[in-house]
């Protein structure tokens, strides 16, 4: 059995104009010890998905339907008290902004010790202090700085402190939401490597949520590409970046300099994701897709399975057979940006 099984999950936000369907029918599994990346542009539902899993949706957010099975229990059916017990101990989250997640009025040590004592009431102060020292050393921070307040740390140090805190209880699942976005490239690389080695040591699995495809290419075994609240494509990192079938993945991949081949031109996907309050019928990417046809605008694509990938595109086979050079060509995307209605014909 997988460690985490998310099935047909719908997470909505109540708004004045009606529910915003931030996560809409998402299903996936995560195996023990596996690293799963969740990528996609801003607003596609990545953070909402993580918050629903760890149980920290804001007041306006709610699970409309579906299940989140974690180690055999459906999290959506648990009481808040049961969920709180799982938080940090079994599932921990490294949030987007370390500054907002750390409490400014307590020292880092106090915050980690509090998390330990809340979840493991029998732990004595000496043992808690030992865990703090161990975690600081693991993430490359000087343990003597544990008695500092968050504002005495640099951005990179705060991010490491946040990671130390997330690891202190050796959770079986870590959710890392843009864990390195605020850091420079060298620091980013160091922290990602450090996280991967720690994770191996404690055999936890990790969901890395990011808009940066190169972060996922570096740290994950498998990737889910999300678009406008839905999964566009899913599969092993190598296959998905090597031979994707979904035009959105092709575009996303080519939009990042780090993972492209040097001879390729960067492209940008013009336009914006659709409104989630009243999403279009058919494929949600159709409006921005240079290969979209009427079928794409009318019918929602079913999952297409090939070469280890799950792709939600009506034309996955055609892309594989003959359309790939066209989909890979930046001119195609530039022309699509200029035209109001493109398409390769039915
Ligand atoms: N509290 C809220 N109330 C209403 N809508 C919200 C709320 N939080 C998020 N949303 C909407 O839900 C959608 C998904 O947002 P979410 O933050 O999950 O996306 P994301 O992919 O993580 O983006 P980012 O990378 O910018 O964090 C967006 O359209 C957003 O506007």
249 lines ligand 1 (CB under 6 A): no
Mean pLDDT of the chain: 87
CB neighbours of 220 closer than 8 A, spacing ≥ 6?
35, 36, 37, 208, 237
Residue 49 alpha carbon, nearest atom of ligand 1: 18
Pick the CATH number of 4-220 from 3.30.465.10, 3.40.50.1110, 3.40.50.300, 3.30.750.24: 3.40.50.300
pLDDT, tens digit (0-9, with 9 covering 90-100), for 151-206: 999 888 888 888 888 888 888 999 988 877 766 777 777 777 777 877 888 888 99
Specify the residue with its C-alpha closest to ligand 1, atom 25. Answer: 42
Contact (Cβ atoms closer than 8 angstroms) between residue 39 and residue 252:
yes
Q: Which residues contact 160 (CB under 8 A, 6 or more apart)?
A: 139, 140, 141, 191, 194
- DSSP assignment of 102-128: S-TTS-HHHHHHHHHHHH-TT--HHHH
Q: Is 35 in the pocket of ligand 1 (CB under 6 A)?
A: no
- What phi and psi, each to the nearest 5 degrees, are found at residue 102? -95, 140
Token representation of residue 122: 């029998």
Instruction: Report the C-alpha gap between 326 and 302 in whole angstroms.
Output: 23
Task: Verify whether ligand 1 is closer than 6 Å to residue 13 (CB atom).
Answer: yes
Residue 106 C-alpha from the chain's centroid: 29
Domain ranges in the chain?
4-220, 238-338
Residue nearest to atom 7 of ligand 1 (CA): 13
* Tokens standing for residue 107: 């020292």
φ, ψ dihedrals at 90, nearest 5°: -105, -40
Q: Does the C-beta of 48 come closer than 6 Å to ligand 1?
A: yes
79-124 pLDDT tens trace = 888 887 787 788 988 877 656 678 899 999 999 999 888 888 888 9
ipTM of this predicted structure: 0.97
Residue 214: is its pLDDT beyond 70? yes
Q: What is the pLDDT of residues 279-294, one digit of tens each?
A: 999 999 999 999 999 9
Phi, psi of 2 (to 5 degrees): -70, 155
Q: Which atom of ligand 1 is nearest to the CA of 96?
A: 27
Q: Is 18 left (phi over 0), alpha (psi -120 to 50) or beta?
A: left
Ligand 1 touching residue 17 (CB < 6 A) = no
């Amino acid at each position: 059995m997988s460690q985490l099984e998310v099935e047909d999950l719908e997470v909505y936000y109540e708004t004045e104009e009606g529910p915003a369907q931030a996560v809409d029918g998402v299903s996936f599994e995560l195996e023990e010890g596996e690293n799963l990346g969740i990528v996609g542009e801003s607003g596609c539902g990545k953070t909402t998905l993580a918050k629903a899993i760890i149980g920290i949706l804001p007041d306006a957010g709610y699970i409309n339907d579906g299940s989140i099975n974690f180690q055999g229990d459906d999290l959506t059916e648990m009481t808040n008290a049961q969920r709180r017990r799982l938080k940090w101990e079994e599932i921990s989250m490294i949030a987007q902004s370390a500054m907002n997640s750390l409490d400014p009025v307590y020292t880092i040590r106090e915050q980690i010790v509090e998390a330990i004592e809340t979840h493991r009431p029998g732990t004595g102060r000496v043992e808690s202090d030992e865990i703090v020292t161990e975690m600081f050393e693991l993430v490359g921070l000087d343990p003597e700085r544990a008695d500092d307040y968050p504002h005495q740390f640099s951005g990179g140090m705060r991010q490491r402190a946040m990671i130390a805190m997330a690891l202190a209880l050796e959770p079986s699942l870590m959710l890392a939401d843009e864990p390195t976005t605020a850091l420079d490239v060298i620091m980013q690389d160091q922290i990602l490597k450090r996280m991967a080695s720690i994770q191996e040591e404690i055999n936890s699995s990790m969901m890395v949520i990011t808009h940066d495809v190169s972060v996922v290419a570096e740290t994950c075994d498998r990737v889910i590409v999300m678009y406008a609240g839905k999964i566009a494509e899913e599969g092993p990192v190598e296959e998905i970046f090597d031979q994707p079938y979904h035009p959105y993945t092709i575009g996303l991949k080519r939009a990042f300099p780090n993972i492209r081949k040097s001879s390729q031109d960067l492209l940008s996907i013009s336009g914006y994701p659709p409104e989630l309050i009243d999403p279009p019928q058919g494929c949600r990417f159709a409006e921005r897709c240079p290969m979209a046809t009427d079928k794409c605008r009318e019918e929602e694509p079913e999952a297409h399975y090939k070469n280890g990938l799950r792709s939600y595109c009506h034309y996955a086979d055609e892309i594989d057979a003959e359309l790939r050079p066209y989909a890979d060509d930046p001119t195609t995307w530039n022309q699509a940006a200029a035209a109001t209605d493109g398409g390769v014909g039915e």
